[in-house]
Amino acid sequence: MTKNNNISTIEIKSLTRDYGNGRGVFDVSFNVKKGEVFGFLGPNGAGKTTTIRHLMGFLKAQSGECRIGGLDCWSSSAKIQNILGYVPGEISFFDDMTGEAYLRFVKNYRGIKDTERKDELLEYFELDTRGKIKKMSKGTKQKLGLVAAMMHDPEILIFDEPTSGLDPLMQSRFIDLVAKEKERGKTILLSSHMFEEVERTCDRIGIIREGRLVALDFVEDLRKRHVNTYTVTLGSAKEAEAFAKDFRGEVSGCNVTVSAKQSLEEIFMNYYGGTND
Amino acid sequence: MINGALYVREMKKSIKLIVILLAVITMYVAIIISMYEPKMAKLLDDYVKMMPQLMASVGMTGGATSLLGFMCSYLYGFILIVFPMIFCIIRANGLVAKYIDNSSMVSLLCAPVKRFTVAFTQMAVLMSGIVILIVYTTILEIICAQYFFPGELDIAKLLVLNTGLLGLELFIGAICFFASCIFSEVKYSIALGAGLPTLMFVIQMLANVGDKAKNAKYFTFFTLYDSTGIIENEAGALIGTIVLFAGAIVLYTASVTAFCKRDICL
């Protein structure tokens, strides 16, 4: 197999893992190019996490293969981790440690010399690392997970439902972070069950449903297809402004443009027509 | 092969348990050795006569003629076997299975550290704890013996005896570690890792009582550690020790290999 001119950083080829009873992932293939933000979208239990576990080298593919940076995700998993940062949806650390002790442990465990990036991230998230991890709130834990996963400044980032359980403020802060990392040329795989979230951050989206990849498209195209836009004319500019505020529209004079976003289920319905069971 | 940061963290977690066990062992070893004077020894032997089966079940048979024989009878049948065994059961389970069960294994695998290194480091932590317990016990026994009965203890034989004990405990640790490496849930890891050695020990206690239950000794690995046989230089006892060490090596190798090859659902 030649790897010439291959600019894909994450490659998944015909990945299959059958857990029985129709659960698992079946013949999933997609690539994430260098510098791209890829949204991996699907409802709970669709196979997002299973796919990511293969990328992380936690699971061995039954058939097909996964590669990151040209290396096999199962046999070279440790090597890949040098350029990879991973934040799982449900983070659990060594609960007995304080945040500070945990970050120190990760630094020594990974053999990171430079702590500059860590300090930057701590500042960015305004994270207080002093308390015991056990006593931290979900949001604080999530921040700690982000710092721990990114303190070696990896080339590739994998986020598995990173904002589930976060408040809106933290969510938008996270989305800003993704944008910043993208600017810095990082490759990002972001899994989510919320269309809005990936829509705001990603270049390309793959939709997985019942273990099969059902759509793979640029976010612009998906938006065109699934977001309906309406222009409403109101009585006065004042009313228009209030309307725009309430419905998150864009004002121009007395006209307000609003978009109706479809839920993921509705998008699926679009992909399947009436065949959705 | 060993990740320093992980080793240090885990040894810190072991320390509390080790200190507690050492305190208990210190108390028992000091008391038992100090009782090796004719009057006190007679008292213990009287207990043996009074409830021979109960005492025999924990290896206490009485009538020892040397200090080491006395120690074999009253320390190596129960106390020095069970306390390090508790360490093996608790720590082996906490080193791998617990981290998989509560998903914190993610922290260890999301780093450029090979699975082999993770498993090998955790194994080294377990072994280190066992070695600390046995080495401390050996030194303590020598000090106590020299203090209470200078010159009475055959130190060379004590070293052989405790090497055998080390083999036994490493073997028990290997069973617990294997269970910890192959299961994803703590309940199964404990069921095998704690259940098997405990069951074997109960069978051993039955076999010790003798008579009809004597054949039960063929169904427990504790038979491989024959403390009285070791101090009497019996070939069978020495072979038993070698088998324990060999068994430990096989099981530890299998554990690390299983951990490297398995799917880990985190």
Q: Coil, strand, or helix at residue B226?
A: coil
The residues spanned by each domain of chain A are 8-226
Residues of A in contact with B102 (CB under 8 A): 92, 95
pLDDT (tens digit per residue) in B74-126 = 899 899 999 999 999 999 999 999 999 988 999 999 999 999 999 999 999 99
Residues of B in contact with A60 (CB under 8 A): 263
Query: Tokens 């080390």 label which residue?
Result: B166
> Looking at residue A96, what is its pLDDT?
86
Q: Searching chain A, which residue's CA lies closest to the CA of residue B98?
A: A94
CATH class for domain A8-226?
A: alpha beta
> Which phi and psi (to 5°) does residue B51 adopt?
-130, 70
Q: Searching chain A, which residue's CA lies closest to the CA of residue B111?
A: A81
> Looking at residue A274, what is its pLDDT?
46
Flag whether B232 is in a domain.
yes
> Looking at residue A268, what is its pLDDT?
63
CA distance A40 to A27: 15
Q: How many domains does chain B have?
A: 1
Instruction: Answer whether B112 sits within 8 Å of A96, measured CB to CB.
Output: no
Q: Coil, strand, or helix at residue A203?
A: coil
Flag whether B266 is in a domain.
no
> Looking at residue A271, what is its pLDDT?
64
Between A58, A90, A109, which is nearest B111 by CB? A109
Flag whether B34 is in a domain.
yes
pLDDT (tens digit per residue) in B26-85 = 999 999 999 887 777 777 788 888 888 888 887 777 767 789 988 998 899 899 999 999
Beta-carbon contacts of A157 under 8 Å, excluding residues fewer than 6 positions away, are A84, A85, A86, A87, A149, A150, A181, A186, A187, A188, A189
Minimal CA separation from B20 to chain A, in Å: 19
Closest by CA to B122, choosing from B100, B89, B95, is B95
> Looking at residue B40, what is its pLDDT?
74
pLDDT (tens digit per residue) in B14-29 = 999 999 999 999 999 9
Q: B157 falls in which pLDDT band (50, 70, 90)?
A: very high
Minimal CA separation from B4 to chain A, in Å: 7
Contacts across the A-B interface (CB distance below 8 Å): 67
- Beta bridge mates, A190: A39, A159
Query: What is the average per-residue pLDDT within B168-173?
Result: 97
**Which residue positions in chain A have pLDDT lower than 50?**
1-6, 274-277
Does A77 contact chain B (CB < 8 Å)? yes
Domain that holds residue B94: 4-261
How deeply is B243 buried, as exposed, middle or buried, from its count of CB atoms within 10 A (0-12, 13-18, 19+)? middle
Residues of A in contact with B107 (CB under 8 A): 93-94, 106, 148
Q: How many CA atoms lie within 13 A of B64 on its CB side?
A: 28
CA distance B175 to B169: 10
**CA distances from residue A54 to A16, A84, B242 in whole angstroms, order as listed:** 10, 14, 42
Instruction: Answer whether A92 sits within 8 Å of B4, measured CB to CB.
Output: no
ipTM given for this complex:
0.85
